[in-house]
Structure 1
Amino acid sequence: MDSLNATGHAIFLELNEKIQGLEPSWREWAVGMLRPIAALAVVAVAMVLSYSQKLGLEKEMIYSIARAFIQLSAIGFVLEFIFNQANVAWIFLAYVIMVTVAGYTAGQRARNVPNGAYVAGLSIFLGTALTMALLVVLKVFPFTPRYIIPVAGMMVGNAMTVTGVTLKRMREDLRLQQGMIETALALGATPRQATVKQVRRALVVGLSPVLDNAKTVGLISLPGAMTGLIMGGASPTEAIQLQIVVMNMLLGASTFSGVLATYLSWPFFFTSTYQLQTKVLRDE
């Protein structure tokens, strides 16, 4: 029995040594995941409420949380790899992937807009690239993966939402006011002159959430970037300074992308003879 215990103890020590010495990143990841796993208790409560109210969202909640867990875990290791690379090509690769996914997602929201995914993708790319270039030129952020990729992710995400909403609202307004637009065209107005009010209204609707968020930041909510810095040990004043930069860049990127989306999609609503594409404006 003593020899068996000794053997078991030796095996335990050997395994522990392997875990402690050979796989530090995996060990740190496993220990760090204890808090997210504990936070699943909140999801369990939400599922109970969904079941009690007969909402039928339990499976959707499980799927959403599982997908988020897998995606975030995977991207964590990917970013750790990219951050350790000196080649800036990794920055462009990550950026292109983000823009591609964002363009497709925004295009799905505005799926009835002709070439909506391509228009959204190009608008997001140009709008966020312009904003990022200004930030780098002004030396707000250094051109390194650790800064550029997270910042680009925030800009692309906001630009995606604004672009999708703007394109969808633009088509809806053109469809609802088709008669007014055709009358303006018959009187000699150009397509841009005949639809400028609808386009402006779509931009206002698309940008409203970003503007409202900028107005209430710090009063109603503490944004993720600021909260993460504070919880990571940074002083509140340092976190505030970074958050101000973040709000500025989000507003700029969203505006650039939204305006570009309207200009790029405008021609697809008209024929070569400056008439409305009625088949594009048919009811969904």
Structure 2
Amino acid sequence: MESSDFSASSEFWLDYLKGMLKPVAATAVVVLAIVLSFVQRLGLEGEMAYSIFRSFLQLSIIGFVLEFIFTQKNAAWILFAYLFMVSVAGYTAGQRAKHVPRGKIIAGASILMGTAITMFLLVALKVFPFTPRYIIPVAGMMVGNAMTVTGVTIKKLREDLKIQKSLVETALALGATPRQATQRQVRRSLVIALSPGLDNAKTVGLIALPGAMTGLIMGGASPLEAIQLQIVVMNMLVGASIISGIISTYLCWPVFFTNAYQLEPRVFASD
């Protein structure tokens, strides 16, 4: 029995090492980029090497983690993986809006609610089964897009409110609610944050084939099957991003305004 386990383990690692030959060979492209950076004196050689090494390490680790989770039948692992992704995304988005108090909490809560609502609808409508193999990759895509939109929305909203502070304060003095006084700034921040994703949705398949679709085609699936999944993916990404972005604007009010419906001076004092 032990000999059989050892043989199976050896075969696994041998197959894994063989599979890593192509990823390692692909780093030749990065080496070329590093050489060009050195020749052009861009000073990005160290950052490029660090970024590629970090991504290589992170993906390798997450590959083993997912391999383990996919073999588990306990739904708790799905929840754990999902909350971990949301936590990292909230921290990253909050870093973008570093001048907003409790920005990481606001971003994390917005991403959590936006992606959870979208995920619930997808599972309820039986678009995806509630299994790790489906939910974790789908959740990762939604959380990643919601992270970008939420971070940009919060950061841009604060910047616009600071620039147009007098206009907002005048509206508040005339009896407007925070939502009414900041309607223009909220709309602008959401449009800026969501525009890249919406533009991508408009041109999907015309300029470049998206990752999910490309992966399926390269894996041997029919292009018609690939586009069915990609349509689902695009819909869920847009939905999760819009919901998360809108929620983040509501959650910003307690830190942007005082209880007397005045702009919080400490939030807009720093650059």
TM-score interval, normalised by the smaller of the two chains = over 0.9
Hey, which bits of structure 1, 4+ residues long, moved more than 3 A? Answer: 17-22
| 1:159 alignment partner, one of 146, 161, 165 | 146
Name the residue aligned to 2:225. Answer: 238
How far, CA to CA, are the matches of 2:9 and 2:99 in structure 1?
53
Distance 2:116 2:173 in 1: 39
Instruction: Map 1:105-120; keep pairs closer than 5 Å.
Output: 105-120=92-107
Q: Distance in 1 between matches of 2:12 and 2:258?
A: 58
SS at match of 1:39: helix
Taking the aligned partners of 1:58 and 1:254, their CA distance within structure 2 comes to 34
- Aligned partner of residue 113 in structure 1, secondary structure: coil
Q: Which residue of 1 aligns with 2:267?
A: 280
The 3 A distance-change label for structure 1 pair 209 and 142 is same
Give me the CA root mean square deviation. Answer: 1.3
Stretches of structure 2 lacking an aligned partner (at least 5 in a row): none
Q: 1:181-192 alignment to 2 at 5 Å?
A: 181-192=168-179
Residue 128, structure 1, aligned to residue 153, structure 2: no
Whether the 8 Å contact between 2:99 and 2:270 is mirrored in structure 1 is no
- Residues in 2 aligned to 1:75 and 1:123: alpha-carbon distance in whole angstroms: 25
Structure-2 residue corresponding to 1:201? 188
CA contact (8 A) 1:114 1:265 kept: no
User: For 1:141-152, what aligned pairs fall within 5 Å after superposition?
Assistant: 141-152=128-139
Percentage identity across paired residues of the two chains: 69
Structure 2 distance, partners of 1:169, 1:23, is 53
Name 1:220's counterpart in structure 2: 207
SS of the aligned residue for 2:268 comes to coil
3-state DSSP class of the match of 2:150?
helix
> Aligned partner of 1:216: which letter?
T
Larger radius of gyration: 1
| Conservation of the 8 A alpha-carbon contact between 1:20 and 1:27 | no
**Structure 1: runs of 5+ lacking an equivalent:** 1-16
Shift of 1:272: 1.1
Give aligned pairs, total.
Answer: 268
CA distance in 1, matches of 2:104, 2:162: 20
Residue matched to 1:3: none
Q: How does 1:56-67 map to 2 (within 5 A)?
A: 56-67=43-54
Instruction: Report the Cα distance in structure 1 between the residues aligned to 2:122 and 2:75, rounded to whole angstroms.
Output: 17
